A and B are shown apart, each in its own frame.
Chain A
Amino acid sequence: MSKLSVRSQPIAIRDVTKTYGSFNALENVTLDIAAGEFLTLLGPSGSGKTTLLMVLAGFTRATSGHVLVGSQDMTRVPPHKRDFGMVFQNYALFPHMNVFGNVAYPLRLRRVSRSEIDTRVARALDLVQLSHLAERPIDALSGGQRQRIALARAIVFEPRVLLMDEPLSALDKNLREQMQIEIRNLHENLGITTVYVTHDQREALTMSDQVVVIDAGRISQKGAPREIYERPANAFVADFIGESTLLPVQAGADGFAFGGRALRATVAPPGGLFLVARPEKMELHRTDMDPAYNLFEGTLHQLVYQGETVLAQVALPEGQTISMRLTSRREVMAALPEPGKPITLALHPEDTVIVPERGQ
């Protein structure tokens, strides 16, 4: 399969602020994206992640701050001169053109010769494996096909940067997972600097080199997927990524404590307020365990059967409920006590993370 050549370039976002009246959609955002990196902006709706993408694409004018691509300041460059490819949430494929027309559109605007257009459109369609649909009208395509055509259109003109705005949110679960892998593969093939916006944390963790968690117009944490998940920098990230119960901890002279018991923790920043209790990190306490484990004694409240896993909800004497996720293998389930009976959960010190309220 032939390849499209791509100039991968780094992006630098410097002190970008966007205000609407008295509302700060973005507040002093500074972010570096390495050349060829796949970076995901992750956050709940209204967090500012889409606004940041729109500022990048040039559709939204920042109130202040700079956007640089390579060595060029793009802040005041209009969108049509930025040379960024973009995949829109609802694809925005032109309904009055067929598949070929859509993919050829950016090439025509660049006055590429007719024969060159044919070659490059064919290559781009090949890349998304839809060469046979070139003459189809857009309304005859399925959701997944539209997704791929939008992708082909965004890369066919060899843009400097690829932007994607929740591109998979309209697809059903199976197709979404398949497309996640395809987009990831495509990125590896092309090596194009990609900024991907999603509110789906699993998608972000699956696809990205770097994840940026955005909360209320600020960057809450930036890091590799594993770092974001395993070492959340604050209560917001811990809560937003994955499942967790945040248990309030007491700060003492020699560390933190929960329920009067000192905690052995790998991450225990000053100003820490909560212990991040993730269900899959919890284990059923066994007597042969390393005594370094932190223990939580409570009552098994109920068992929620979820197919491949089972969730045990445990009521603590302190008033909170924490959960433990176990595979639904027979011997694992047999070891569980009856609901209403006492139970002890164990958390390894490596997985014991204490976080402050919000990131700065």
Chain B
Amino acid sequence: MTAASDPALQTGDNAAALRADELRERATLLGMSVPALLIVGVIVFIPVGWLFWLSFTDGDQLSLTHYRRIADITHARIFWQTFEISALVTVLALLLGYPLAYLMSQLSPRWAGICLIFVLVPFWTSLLVRTYAWMVLLQRRGLVNQTLMDLGIIDMPLRLVYNYTGTVIGMLHIMLPFMILPLYAALRTVDMNYMRAAANLGASPLRAFWTVFFPLSMPGVIAGSLLVFILSLGFYVTPALLGGGRVMMVSMKIQQDAGLYFDWGAASALGVALLVITLGIFWVLSRFMRIERLYGGR
């Protein structure tokens, strides 16, 4: 008897068995992601939830003490400075990173790969070392001022470090790869036929770039900008060292409250406030920055 004539194989009553096979396959997929989910749950959500809880308690009571305490002019300034620096670093990183990412997206894979390595080289040295390097370069008798003075371009050394400028320069350098990588990934996928089409339809290279390439690269611009902005919000070492005491970002205040005074409630309140304000900004941006509206058909 061949398989095809086996009476047991002549019916359609195996639906349940086939369904079980399908469920098993799905369970396997889910099972593989369980370790990652557990890790995220244990090392992210539980501590963050705990800090959230701490920020609303004083002793054993529910209280807004910590929030009332940070509702003063000093904290307002710290928050404003944090967002201002992060926004500035994001914009500058975009301005500097976009042309480079564009160039890389137009190169052959081989040369793009070489460029990519150079973009990634800074990751090989620690953030602290790079920050100190900027200190050495930018200080009063540092390489930059010395060179400019030797060339007779300036008489007095410029104040390039231990202030806002130094902080932005240092952070910009560290953030640039985080801007370039997502930008490059997005720019590379933009079909150059669109640019040809634009040129063919009468757009000069500049017009074609602004009306076609740039809008199509918006996903990369948004991804890179978000990444840089959010990483900048949490910066600690660079503003602490290059800010010369004049720059105070939220993370530095959190460190002060948690590390120096053991005031987890106050530190948590700052963290929660930073999170809420950040989400608020993105909510507003997402309402006003509809790409379709900016570059829409009509």
Contact = CB atoms under 8 A, between A and B. Distances in A.
Q: A–B direct touch, CB within 8 Å, in complex?
A: yes
A82 to B, nearest CB: 8
B295 A96 contact: yes
A93 B212 CA distance: 10
A210 to B, nearest CB: 23
Contact of B199 (A59, A85, A101): A59
A114 to B, nearest CB: 10
A90 B196 CA distance: 12
Given A84-B200, A101-B296, A109-B203, 6 more contacts: A59-B200, A92-B193, A97-B295, A98-B298, A109-B202, A157-B201
B202 A94 contact: no
Contact of B201 (A59, A99, A109): A109
A157 B200 CA distance: 11
Contact of A85 (B200, B204, B207, B296): B200
Contacts of B198: 80, 94, 105
B53 to A, nearest CB: 44
A279 B211 CA distance: 54
Interface string A61-84: 000000000000000001111111
Given A92-B193, A98-B297, A105 B199 contact: no
A98 B296 contact: yes
Given A79-B199, A80-B200, A109 B207 contact: yes
Main secondary structure of the interface of B (DSSP, over half): helix
Contact of B297 (A58, A100, A106): A100
A93 B218 CA distance: 17
11 contacts: A78-B199, A80-B202, A80-B203, A81-B202, A94-B216, A96-B218, A101-B297, A104-B297, A105-B211, A106-B202, A110-B202
Contacts of B196: 57, 59, 79, 86, 88, 92
A92 B199 CA distance: 12
A341 B200 CA distance: 61
A90 B193 contact: yes
Given A100-B297, A101-B297, A94 B212 contact: yes
The 4 closest A-B pairs by CB, nearest first: A101-B297, A98-B297, A92-B197, A106-B201
B215 to A, nearest CB: 5
B194 interface: yes
A92, A135, A153: residue with the most chain B Cβ atoms closer than 10 Å: A92
A81 B211 CA distance: 17
B298 A100 contact: yes
Interface string B174-217: 00000000000000000101101111111111011001100110
B96 to A, nearest CB: 25
Taking residues whose C-beta sits less than 8 angstroms from the other chain, chain B's interface range is 20 to 34
A96 to B, nearest CB: 5
B203 A92 contact: no
Contacts of B60: none
Contacts of A102: 297
B292 A96 contact: yes
B231 interface: no
B297 A86 contact: no
B199, B216, B218: residue with the most chain A Cβ atoms closer than 10 Å: B199
B107 interface: no
A317 interface: no
A342 interface: no
A96 B200 contact: no
A96 B199 contact: no
A80 to B, nearest CB: 5
B131 to A, nearest CB: 40
B120 interface: no
Contacts of B203: 80, 105, 109
Contact of A88 (B193, B216, B292, B298): B193
Contacts of B212: 94, 96
A209 B194 CA distance: 30
Given A88-B197, A95-B216, A96-B295, A157 B202 contact: yes
B291 interface: yes
Contacts of B201: 80, 85, 105-106, 109, 153, 157
A81 to B, nearest CB: 8
B194, B196, B198, B200: residue with the most chain A Cβ atoms closer than 10 Å: B200
Contact of B200 (A79, A98, A104, A110): A79
A97 B202 CA distance: 17
B202 A101 contact: no
B197 A94 contact: yes
Given A97-B296, A135-B297, A92 B194 contact: yes
A92 B200 CA distance: 11
Contact of A86 (B200, B205, B208, B292): B200
A86 B216 contact: no
Contacts of B291: 96
Interface string B59-102: 00000000000000000000000000000000000000000000
A319 to B, nearest CB: 45
Nearest to A110: B202
Contacts of B292: 96
A106 B208 CA distance: 11
A92 B213 CA distance: 12
Nearest to B295: A96
Nearest to A134: B297
